[in-house]
Amino acid sequence: MIPLSYYLAFTAILYIVGIYCLATKRNMIRLVLGIEILVNAANLNFIILSANWKTGFVDPFAHSIVIISTALAGCISAVALTIVVYAYRHYGTLDARKLRRLRG
Amino acid sequence: MFTLPIDTLIVFTVTTPFVGWIERKLHRKIISGIYAAVGFALSGFMLYQLSSQALSSPMVVPIHAGIFEACLRIDALSVFAAAIFLTMGFLVTVYSLKYMERDTGLSLYYTLLLAMITGMLGVVAAGDFFTLFVFWEFMCIPSYVLVAFRKQQWEPVEAGFKYLAMSSAGSATILYGMSILYGLTGTLNFAQLSVVMTSAAANVWGYVSLAFILIGFGVKASMFPLHTWLPDAHPAAPSSISALLSGIVIKAGAYGIIRTLFMIFLPSRFSWQIALAVFAALTMTYGNFAALLQKDIKRLLAYSSIAQMGYILFAISTTTSYGLTAGLMHTMNHALMKGLLFLCAGAFIYRAGTRNLDELKGIGHKMPLTAVIFTVAALSISGVPPLNGFVSEFMIVYAGVNAGMLAFTVVMLINILLGFAYYLRLIKIIVWSTPTENVKKVKRAPALMLLPMALMALSCIIIGLYPAPFIEMASKAAQAVI
Amino acid sequence: MLPYSPWLAWFVPIIGCLLVPILAKINGKLRDWFSFLFVAISSVFTFSMLPDVFNGYLADVQVQWIPYFNLSVGVLVDPLSVFMASLVSFIGALILLYSIGYMAHEEGLTRYYFFMLLFIGGMIGLIMADNFVQLYIFWEIVGLCSYALIGFWYKKPEAVRAGMKAFIVTRVGDVCLLLGILILYFNTGQFAFSSIQNSAGFLSMSLLTTVMLLLFGGAIGKSAQVPLFVWLPDAMEGPTTVSALIHAATMVKAGVYLVARTATIFPSLSSDYLLVVAGVGAVTAFMAATMALATFDIKRVLAYSTISQIGYMMFALGLGTSGGWFASQFHLMSHALFKALLFLCAGAVIHITGTRDMRQMGGLRRYMPITYATFIIGALSLSAVPPFNGFWSKDLILEECFRLGGYTGYLLFFAGTLTAIITIAYAIRAVALTFLGHESTVLKDKKLREAPSVMTIPLIILASACVISGFLQPSFANLMSQMFPKIADLSIMNIEALPLSISLLALVVGGLPAYMVYVKRSVSPEALTRGSLSRGVYKLLVNGYYFDSFYNYVFVKGTVYISNKLRKLQTGILNVNMLAFLIGFLFLLGLLFSALQGGI
C-alpha cells in the first residue's frame, strides 16, 4: 500500500505547482489554468483523505464536496476567460506582464 | 430552503434579469434598481424578524440534501454582520439609482449586486465550512464581474483580472485548508469541528490548515503581502461598488477569519495571536504609508481600507472579548465611514469627471453639502470625537492595552496619527482650496445620491454620540463566538 | 448657583453653535450678536457657580453613557473647574464682542462663529469634565476647532498649512494622553476623577510615573511646550481674535489645567515626574523668551511669549508644593488677562496698519493713544512690573521656588529670573518698535487713526482687570484653599525680601539694555548682531533653535521617503503579487511554527 504521506505530498506539490504557475507564467490563459490547478489540488486532497478513514470505505461526503467544487471552479474559469478576452481586446496581447498600467 | 432573508434575496436575484427585460420594454432605467432596493428592504425585514430569536441562542437550520449534511447556523455574530451588509447594500442601491444612470446593462448590475450580497449573507449564516465555501464563491464571482463592470475601459479589465487571479488563489487555498481539516477530523460542521479540534492535542497539521485558511481569508481581508489586488480593484470599480467592496466584502474576509480562528482554532489551543498581530501591524503600517501621497482619490481611500483592516485584524489578534467587540464595532463603523467616503468620491467623480486630486481641488465649494458630509466622514475615520470612528479606535486601543500587547498598541497609535495626516490633506484639497478651472462648472450632487450619503453621515454622528446600544450588539456578537 | 449651571455652561454654547447656520440665513448681524449672547449667557452660568464654590460647595453629577466601559458623562464642580470655566467664558464673551467689530468685513463668518462657539463650549466642557474620557473627547473637539479657525482664511496656503500643522502636532500629544488614560483605566477600572482618587493608593510608583508622564505628554502638545511647541508660532496665521482666545487665553491653558487636575487626583506625585515637568517648563520658558527677542512679527512675539509664560506655570506645578500649585493658577489667571489684552491690542494695530511686521510700524502712539496705553499696561504686566497683576503672580512663583530651596528650587529660581530678564527685554522691544519712534515709510500712506470703540472697550476692560486682579489674590487663595489647605497661608503681604529684590534687579538688568537699544536708540539693534558669535546666536533664535527644521527633515521628509519606497512594492505585475502571496504564506508558516515550538 502506498502510504498516505506520499499522496499528501503529491497534492502539496500540485498546490506548489499551481502557485508557481501563477507566479511565473506570462500568458493569461496559463494563469487561469494555474488557478484551476490550485483548485484541483484541493479537490484531490479531499478525495485522498476521504479514502483514509477505514480500508475499503470511502466517505461520500468528500466526493459531493469535490463535485460542487469542480462546478464552482468551472464558473470561475468562465468568468476569468471572459475577462481575458476583454483584456486581449484592450491590450492586444495575452502577456500578463503588459498589464502594468496600474501601479504605485 | 435556506432561511427567509437569504431566500428572499435569491428570489430577487433570479428575477431581476426579467425585470430588466420589462425595463427595456418600458425604457425606464430605474425599475430594476427600485426592485433591488425593495429586495434588500424585504430581506432586512425578514432578518429583523429572525434576529430576536437568533440573538439569544444560535439558530441551526439544517439543509437536507440526501446524505450531504449541511446546516446554517445563525447566531448573534451572523445577525450583526448580516445587518451591516444589508444596510450597506440598500443604501448603495439607492445611490446607484442615480450614479449608474449613464451606464448600460443596469439590470445585470443589480442582479450581480443582489447576488453578491446574497453570497455574503450566506457566508455569515453558514454553519459548516462547505456551505461557507459555496456561499463564499457565490459572493466572489459577482464581485469579480462587478469590478470589471465597465468593460469598455482598460482599467476595470486589468484590475478585474488581477483581482480574480488573486482572490481565486485565495479561495483555492481556503479549500485546501478545509481539506486538511476534513482529513484531521472527518467533519466540516463548525460545532463539531470546534469540539474535536479543542479536545485533540495541537499538532502540526492543525497549524498547517490554520495557515492555509488564514492566508485564504487573508487575501480577501487584505492582509499585508496578500493585499496587492486591492489598490487596483477598488478604484477601478464603479464608486458604488467600491463602497461595497471596501465596506463589506473585505469584512467578509475578516468574518471568515473570526469564525474559523475563534470557533475551530481556539486561542487556548493554537497560538496564532502574535502571528496575526504581526501581520496586522504590517498591514496597517503599509496601508497608511502608501496612502500618504496618492494622487487618485479612490486609490488613497483603497490604501486607507488596507490600513483599517489592519486595525480590525489587530483587534481580533487580542483574542479577548474586548478585542473582538472592538473589532466588530470597527467593522460596522468602517463600513459606514469608508462606504460614505467612497460615495462622496463617487459624487465628485460623477460631477467633475475626474479622479485626480490635482484636478478636484476646491470642489467642496461647488458641492457644499457633499463637502460637509465628506468632512464628517474623513474626521470620523481619523478618530476625532464625537464621531463613531473615535469610539471604535478608542476601543481597539483599549483592547490592545488590556491584552498587554503594548508594543503593537503603540504601533497602532502611530498609525492613527499617519492616517490622520492624509485625511487632513484630503480635506484640505477638497474643501480648503480655491476651485480650479476644471471644477468651476460642477453642479451640486443629485438628491438621490445625497439621500443615502446624508443618512450615513447622520448615523456616523449618532453612533458617535450614543454608541451604547451598538456596543451592546457588538458585544453580544462577540460573546457568541468566544 | 442657577439650576443645572454646570451642564448649561457648556451646553449653551454648543447649542448656539448648532443654531449659527440657521441664524446666519436670517441675518448676518443677528448671528454675530447672538453668538456673543450665547457666550454671555454661559458666563452668567459659570459665574453663578462661583459664590457656591467659595462656600465650600462640591459636586460630581453623572449621567450614564456607555455601560460597557463603566463610562458616564459628568460634571465636577470644584474651585479649580469653576475658576477656569469662569475665566474662559468671561474672556470668550469679551473676545466675541471684539470680533463683531474686528471681523465685520470678512466672508465665511458663519464658519467662524460656528467654530468659536463650539470651541468655547468644548473648552468649558473639558474644564467641567469629571472623567478622563470626557476630558479627552473635549480635548480633541477643542483641537478640531483650533484647526478650523487657524485655517479660517483658507485662501492663504500658509494658513491652511498652519492649521494642519497645529492639529497634527497636538495630536501627537493627544495620542500620549490617550495611552495614559487607557493604561490608567486598565489598572484602576475607572475613568472618573473621584474614583481614581480613591483607588490611587494602590498604584505602584513606577506605574504612576509612567501614566503621569504620558498625561503630561498630552499637556506638552496642547500647551505648546518643548518639544511640541512648533505649531503655536505658525498658528498666528489665524485671525487675531482666534489667537487671543484660543492660543493665549484658553486652549493652551488646557495642558496646565490637566497637570493641575492630576495633581489634585494623585496625592503623592513621584519625584521623577515632577522633575520632568519642572525641567520642561523651565527650558521652555527660557527658550521661548529668547526666540521672542529675535522675531519681527508682532503676533509671533506674543506667541513665543505665551509659550514662555506657560513654561512658568508648568515649572511652578513641577515644584510639587501646594504653594507652587496655587502660584501657577494665579499666574494662569493673570496671563489670560494680560495676554488677551496684548493680542487684542495687536489686533487693533494690525487692523489699522494692515501689516504684522513690526519693522513696518512705529510712532503709532500718536495715532492710537488708547491702544498704546493698554498695550503698555499689558507689556508691564507681562514683564512683571509692580503693581500690575503679572508682578504679583510671577513673583509668587519665584518665591515658591526660593522657598522650596534645595537644588531644584534654586535652579528653577535662577531659570525663572533669567527668563524674566529676557521677558522685559522683548516686551520693551515690542512696545518700542510698534509705538515709539517715527512711522516707517510704509505707513506714511495709510490713514492712521484709533480703532473703533467696539474694539477699544474690551481693551479698557481687560486693562483694568490687569491692574485689579493682582490684588484679588487673598480671596483667590481663599477659594483655592479648599483644594489644598496650606494655600490659605499664602499672601502677597508675606513677601520675602531676597527673592523680591532679585526680581526687581532682574527687571533693571533686562530693562535697561532694552531701553538703551530700542527706545533711546543709542546702540542700534543691528550693531548687536555684528559679531560672529552674536550672529550665530541670532540665527539660532530666528530659526527657532532648529526644531522646525529637525521635524521637517526627520518626520516630513522621512515619512515621504518611506512612503515612496513602500509604494514601489505595488508593482502592478500579477506574477510579483503572487510571489508576495507565497512569501506571505511562508512567513506566516514560520511565525506559526515558532509559536508551536517555543512560543513567541
Cβ pairs B/C, distance under 8 A: 151
Confidence check: pLDDT of C522 > 70: no
Round to whole Å and give the CA distance between C134 and C140: 10
DSSP annotation string for C234-282: HGGGS-HHHHHIIIIISTTHHHHHHHHHHHHHSSS--HHHHHHHHHHHH
- Put simply, the answer to whether B432 touches C65 (Cβ < 8 Å) is no
Q: Which residue of A has its CA nearest to B300?
A: A104
Average pLDDT for residues C492-499, to the nearest whole number? 70
**Facing A39 at nearest CB: one of B130, B158, B172:** B172
Residues in C closer than 8 angstroms to A97, CB to CB, are 573, 575
Do C242 and C311 belong together in one domain?
Answer: no
DSSP state of C137: H
Chains that contact C by 3+ CB pairs under 8 Å?
A, B
Residues in B closer than 8 angstroms to A10, CB to CB, are none
Q: What is the pLDDT of residue B249?
A: 95
Domain boundary among C213, C239, C269: C269
Tell me if A104 is assigned to some domain. Answer: no
* CA dihedral of B52, B53, B57, B58, whole degrees rounded to 10: -110
ipTM of predicted complex: 0.96
Interface check B169 vs C, CB under 8 A = yes
Domain count, chain A: 1
Confidence check: pLDDT of B115 > 80: yes
Quote the domain boundaries for residue A48.
Answer: 4-98
Average pLDDT for residues B403-409, to the nearest whole number? 91
* 3-state class (DSSP) for residue C354: coil
- Put simply, the answer to whether B157 touches A59 (Cβ < 8 Å) is no
DSSP annotation string for B102-114: GSS-HHHHHHHHH
Confidence check: pLDDT of C316 > 80: yes
B4-18, C331-345, C468-482: which range is least confident on average?
C468-482
Tell me if A103 is assigned to some domain. Answer: no
Round to whole Å and give the CA distance between C257 and C171: 18
Q: Which residue of A has its CA nearest to B184?
A: A49
Q: What is the pLDDT of residues B220-250, one digit of tens each?
A: 999 999 999 999 999 999 999 999 999 999 9
Do C114 and C184 belong together in one domain?
Answer: yes
Tell me if C288 is assigned to some domain. Answer: yes
Do C6 and C153 belong together in one domain?
Answer: yes
Neighbours of B469 (CB within 10 A): 10
Q: What is the pLDDT of residue C506?
A: 83
Q: What is the pLDDT of residue C486?
A: 67
B5-14, B234-243, C220-229, C383-392: which range is least confident on average?
C383-392
Confidence check: pLDDT of B267 > 90: no
Chains that contact B by 3+ CB pairs under 8 Å?
A, C
What distance in Å separates residue B390's CA from the closest CA in chain C?
9
Do C244 and C288 belong together in one domain?
Answer: no
Q: What is the pLDDT of residues A46-74, one digit of tens each?
A: 999 998 888 888 888 899 899 999 999 99
Do C393 and C339 belong together in one domain?
Answer: yes
Do C190 and C50 belong together in one domain?
Answer: yes
Confidence check: pLDDT of B167 > 70: yes
Domain boundary among C239, C269, C299: C269
B414 CB-contact burial (10 Å; exposed 0-12 / middle 13-18 / buried 19+):
middle
Round to whole Å and give the CA distance between B76 and B59: 9
Q: What is the pLDDT of residue C268?
A: 76
- Put simply, the answer to whether B161 touches A75 (Cβ < 8 Å) is no
Q: What is the pLDDT of residues B346-384, one digit of tens each?
A: 999 999 888 999 888 888 888 889 999 999 999 999 999
DSSP state of B201: P
Do C315 and C252 belong together in one domain?
Answer: no
Average pLDDT for residues B115-128, to the nearest whole number? 93
- Put simply, the answer to whether C164 touches B272 (Cβ < 8 Å) is no
Q: Which residue of B has its CA nearest to C168?
A: B421
- Put simply, the answer to whether C575 touches A101 (Cβ < 8 Å) is no
Confidence check: pLDDT of A45 > 90: yes
Domain count, chain C: 3
Confidence check: pLDDT of B409 > 70: yes
- Cell triple for B328: 466588530
* 3-state class (DSSP) for residue C522: coil
Q: What is the pLDDT of residues B275-316, one digit of tens each?
A: 999 999 999 999 999 999 899 999 999 999 999 999 999 999
% of chain C surpassing 90 pLDDT:
31
Q: What is the pLDDT of residue C533?
A: 78
B358 CB-contact burial (10 Å; exposed 0-12 / middle 13-18 / buried 19+):
exposed
pLDDT band at B411 (very low <50, low <70, confident <90, very high): very high
**Facing B228 at nearest CB: one of C147, C560, C570:** C570
CB C98 within 8 A of CB C32: no
Distance (Å) of CA C418 to CA C291, C396, C402, C423, C498: 14, 16, 14, 9, 16
Q: What is the pLDDT of residue C493?
A: 60
Which residue is associated with the grid cell 463668518? C109
- HSE, CB side, 13 Å, CA atoms: give it for residue B417: 21
Quote the domain boundaries for residue C113.
Answer: 1-269
**C window 553-572, beta carbon within 8 A of A:** 567-568, 570-572
Average pLDDT for residues C117-146, to the nearest whole number? 92
Average pLDDT for residues C64-85, to the nearest whole number? 86
Burial A6-39 (b: 16+ CB within 10 A, else e): ebbeebbebbeebbbbbbebeebeebbbbbbbbb
Q: What is the pLDDT of residues C416-462, one digit of tens each?
A: 999 999 999 999 988 888 888 777 777 776 777 777 777 888 888 88
Confidence check: pLDDT of C495 > 70: no
Do C247 and C286 belong together in one domain?
Answer: no
Q: What is the pLDDT of residues C274-307, one digit of tens each?
A: 999 999 999 999 999 999 988 889 999 999 999 9
Instruction: Say which residue, C479 or B193, is predicted with more confidence.
Output: B193
Domain boundary among C269, C286, C320: C269
Average pLDDT for residues B322-330, to the nearest whole number? 94
What distance in Å separates residue B283's CA from the closest CA in chain A?
16
- Cell triple for C372: 498704546
Q: What is the pLDDT of residue C600?
A: 59
Q: Which residue of B has its CA nearest to A39?
A: B172
Do C283 and C259 belong together in one domain?
Answer: no
Length of chain B: 482
Do C506 and C551 belong together in one domain?
Answer: no
pLDDT band at C582 (very low <50, low <70, confident <90, very high): very high
Q: What is the pLDDT of residues B44-67, one digit of tens each?
A: 998 988 888 777 778 788 877 766
Do C147 and C254 belong together in one domain?
Answer: yes
Q: Which amino acid is at B362?
A: G
**Facing B182 at nearest CB: one of A38, A49, A101:** A49
Do C232 and C288 belong together in one domain?
Answer: no
Q: What is the pLDDT of residue B145?
A: 95
* Helix C28-54 and helix C473-480, axial crossing angle in degrees, nearest 10: 70
Q: What is the CATH number of the domain that holds A44?
A: 1.10.287.3510
Q: What is the pLDDT of residues C380-419, one digit of tens each?
A: 999 888 888 888 888 888 888 888 878 888 888 889 999 9
Task: Provide φ and ψ at B318, rounded to 5°.
Answer: -75, -15
Neighbours of C235 (CB within 10 A): 30
Query: Of C148, C92, C167, C100, nearest to C124 (Cα)?
Result: C92
Q: What is the pLDDT of residues C168-213, one digit of tens each?
A: 999 999 999 999 999 999 988 888 888 888 887 778 888 888 999 9
* Helix C79-102 and helix C109-128, axial crossing angle in degrees, nearest 10: 170
